[in-house]
Amino acid sequence: MYPLSSRQRDPMGLQRSPKHVCAHVLRIKGELDLDALKGALDDVVARQDALRSRVHYDESGMAGSLEVLPPMPVPLTVHDIPETPGRSRDEIAAELLHALNEESMDFLDTPSLRAALHRFDAQDAVLTLLSHHLYSDGWSVGVLRSEIAACYRARVTGVPHTLPTPVPFSEFAAWEHEFLQSEKAEESRRYWHDKLAGAAMSTMPADRPYDPEDQAARSAVRNFVIDPDTLAEITEGAARNRCSIWHVCLAAYMVLMEKLTGQTDLTLMTVNSGRPAKEFFDTIGFFANLVPVRLEFDDCETFRDVLLRARRASVEAQQHQLPTEQLLGMYPTLMNPPGDPMVLPTGFNYVSAPADNQDTDFTTSVEPVSLPEEEAASFRRGVIIWTFLVVPGGDFRCVIEYEPGSVDAETVDGWGSDFVALLREMTGRPAQKWDRGPSAPAALAARAKQ
């Protein structure tokens, strides 16, 4: 038994939900050795202890232990897909991803990897992979693909793979405990003590009061797409100002929120799905961490000022990461509900592009399947989640997940179209002075009259 890391402590039970899963679907073209695929999946579980672990909680959800089980086989089911008139194979593959997103998995199931191969014919198939989010995250998906490919090639060719031996996920809690005793952690605590003083989580205005007791309407989603050529222009414009596309997204949100509410002091809860130390780069596990970013920009005059302020705030926040429970221990009210049913808390999430296929092909072609539009991903109600990602093909998606009982689709469409326009405007004309919106009281009064 091993102690739990801060990422696995879950007093609200949200992370333990059977809907808290990672779904990944691959389109595989070329001759496929089924025995080698089955063996490769088993090899990955043998290498990655998170996929054969179970978390045991006490009543508080803040203590317990991680049990690591011996290597075990991965359930792999095989299905033949009949030809269906009027439906292309690409459409069927997308439908399989949609269905996988709807599946559930108990966090006590082992191994925490479920696989199914759906075959169109001997040269074309779809592999679906599902794991519980408590033992996996966005970064883990790339590691999983690379390991399946390397282990498959090793079994087919008889040549051993050269994958580095991953540091066991079960050792992360000990690493984290040691880190929290370090001077770097103490420096981070001092930073957040100053940075979060007087902070409140960013909220967006609702069209109707939010009723937490009303669970009838599921979260809704609106997608806003930027084509590859336009994305290249925005990225180049950002780079000229020493910013990334993520910094531009933060800056555009800052300007949008100032126009909507008059606020120039925002605290966003963002998600970091990377690894806190290089030794865990090849480890599958749940390392995702909530990182607040406080954006104070009342003194900014031009778009470039706002961009650079967003970059500085983001870089500083990443450099001073602490486990979420540490931050909430310092500021226990930081993530409290806003208390006003006419506003909803906002979260920001950037999903990195899929791994380069040069390390993940194991037949003629292996490509991740994507949906025409992103679907609802959050199972936590009463929040507005902004997610940004690059999908296969190069399109950049801005995805806004919201409460349809409280916010109209037309309102979200306005946010999204304004946001996308700001991305282009801020990087195309960074020296332009940004026009201030109404003051917060005036903005709210204007909304009340609508």
The residue with greater pLDDT, 445 or 265, is: 265
Whether residue 111 is predicted with pLDDT greater than 70 in this model: the reply is yes
Question: According to the model, what pLDDT value does residue 437 have?
Answer: 67
Give the C-alpha separation, 51 to 49, whole Å: 5
Question: According to the model, what pLDDT value does residue 128 have?
Answer: 98
Percent with pLDDT over 70 in the chain: 94
3-state helix, strand, coil in the chain (%, to 5): 40, 20, 40
> What is the pLDDT averaged over residues 101-105?
92
Mean pLDDT (the chain, rounded):
90
Question: According to the model, what pLDDT value does residue 353 have?
Answer: 52
The residue with greater pLDDT, 218 or 300, is: 300
Residue 50 corresponds to which tokens in the numbers above?
């998170």
356 confidence band (pLDDT: 50, 70, 90): very low
- The four Cα atoms 321, 132, 128, 166 give a dihedral, to 10 degrees, of 60
Question: According to the model, what pLDDT value does residue 444 have?
Answer: 45
Q: Which residues are CB-contacts of 92 (< 8 A; sequence separation ≥ 6)?
A: 81, 84, 120, 126
Residue type, 150: A
Question: According to the model, what pLDDT value does residue 448 have?
Answer: 42
Predicted TM-score of the model (pTM): 0.89
Question: According to the model, what pLDDT value does residue 346 have?
Answer: 92
Residue in this structure with the two tokens 């001092």, named with its chain if needed: 190
Q: What Å distances lie between residue 328 and 204, 286, 426, CA to CA?
A: 22, 20, 34
Q: What region, left, alpha or beta, does residue 323 occupy, with left being phi > 0 and alpha being psi -120 to 50 degrees?
A: beta
| Residue 157 contacts residue 167 (beta carbons within 8 Å) | no
Whether residue 443 is predicted with pLDDT greater than 50 in this model: the reply is no
Q: What are phi and psi of 57, to 5 degrees?
A: -100, 150
Query: Max Cα separation, the chain?
Result: 72
Give the C-alpha separation, 129 to 77, whole Å: 11
* Of 237, 234, 238, 215, the residue nearest 226 (C-alpha): 234
Task: With both helix axes pointing from N to C terminus, report the angle between 228-240 and 245-261 in degrees, rounded to the nearest 10.
Answer: 90
Question: According to the model, what pLDDT value does residue 206 have?
Answer: 95
The residue with greater pLDDT, 38 or 219, is: 38
In this predicted structure, which of 251-255, 370-374, 417-421 has the lowest mean pLDDT? 370-374
* Of 384, 387, 430, 429, the residue nearest 405 (C-alpha): 384
Question: According to the model, what pLDDT value does residue 392 have?
Answer: 76
* Of 131, 139, 226, 281, the residue nearest 419 (C-alpha): 226
Whether residue 61 is predicted with pLDDT greater than 90 in this model: the reply is no
